[in-house]
Amino acid sequence: MHLSTEFKNYGFIGVGSLFLAYGVVALFIPNALVTGGTSGMALLMHYIFHYPVGVMMMAINAPLLLLGTKFFGKHFTVRSIVAIGFTSVCIDGMRAWMNVLPLSHDVILASIFGGISVGIGLGFILSAHASAGGSTIIAKIVASKTSIKASTVMLVIDMLIVIAIALISKNVDLALWSLVSIYISAKSIDMFLTRGPSKKVVHIVSSQIEALCETIVHHLGPYGTIVQGSGIFEHEEKRMIFLVVENSRIPRLKELIQSVDDEAFMVVMEASELLGRGH
């Protein structure tokens, strides 16, 4: 990993943490809204027990990140620890020391613009090949032990958080607006990362296809196709990997490809419509 790349990654983490923290402090907390994943769990703990949100984020995520090292690798885990730690400090610092005032007390505006702020923050953090929450780790572990998809696990976690805020606040409107904010955050992440639909078609041409396949299967899953072909000029035999990948996993895929073959050729295209295999 080049030093300049790592500096860029940690710069993205810093900017993303500030966006995420501001959305939580200025818009979510004043309006008793929640977001998805472990950040949403931390907000729930704050509303129930009045614990600092940042402290709860670190308490929930720390064991999950340590557990997830074998699934995501050392560098990803270190960056994620930094992202979660800095986000936690920013959230509690903005509330305790900086006295950041609520941007709006209108729950509709808070859900929309809070979702955008959190989505942009997470987009920066994901671009740095890191994570701001351990719900992805829970999903990965469940998916590896069962036939349940990781995306399904994450959806269930988010739905449980929304149901919990409805029961705690005895206000269905807050739960519904929290659901809107989660949706807006997800769309903001997609637009930030790839400025397009939620999935991409990826073609990879490399002289190290077998090594790439092994790495992709280990880190991203077993779904993909090897396409046989020949070069247009000298008709030499070539092989290409064909994948359909979630937008949020494109930065990770790039990192994996570069770690195996820094001369590999990668083309990313829009997946405007998908049919079959669960789509």
Q: Which residue has the higher pLDDT, 197 or 64?
A: 64
Map out the domains of the chain with their CATH numbers: 3-194 (no CATH), 199-270 (3.30.70.120)
Residue among 116, 121, 48, 135 nearest 91 (CA): 121
- Digit-coded pLDDT (tens) for 148-205: 776 678 888 889 999 999 999 889 999 999 999 999 998 888 777 765 556 788 898 8
In this predicted structure, what is the pLDDT of residue 195? 57
User: CA 251, CA 217: separation in Å to the nearest integer?
Assistant: 16
pTM of the shown model: 0.72
Question: What residue type is 157 in one-letter code?
Answer: I
Query: Distance between CA atoms of 265 and 186, rounded to whole angstroms?
Result: 29
β-bridge mates for residue 268, sequence order: 202
Instruction: Provide the token pair at 140.
Output: 């990965």
Quote the Cα angle for 159-165-167, to 5°: 105
